[in-house]
Amino acid sequence: MKFSYDYDRLLNELYSDLEEGLIDKTDTIKIVRGDKYSNEYYPIIDYYYDDEEPEEHYVYLTVERVIAEMEQYNTIL
């Protein structure tokens, strides 16, 4: 099953943080995922890169991997 998810806002924020030097593509950040979407995908709904601990369950991923995932699903089908 093919699907897409709107990551425009989060991608813009992530690229802005990269441009400002707050994070690097090789850094590991905390990723919060939302509820299951399209019966097989848990979308990224937020990210944290400092010492702040999210209240929600999170996983660690590299910035590079997060960008790749968001760009993959940020298409209109």
Reading phi first (left if > 0) and then psi (alpha if -120 to 50, else beta), residue 75 is in beta
Domain ranges within the chain, ordered by starting residue: 8-73
| Residue 4 predicted with pLDDT over 90 | no
Which pTM value belongs to this model?
0.88
Average pLDDT for 21-34: 97
Rounded-to-integer distance, Cα 23 and Cα 55, Å: 21
| pLDDT of amino acid 1 | 56
pLDDT higher for 36 or 18?
18
Find the DSSP H helices in the chain.
Answer: 8-19, 63-73
| Residue 16: pLDDT band with limits 50, 70, 90 | very high
- Return the higher-pLDDT residue of 1 and 52: 52
Residue 77 has pLDDT above 60, yes or no: no
* Ramachandran quadrant class, 56 (left: phi over 0; alpha: psi -120 to 50; beta: rest): beta
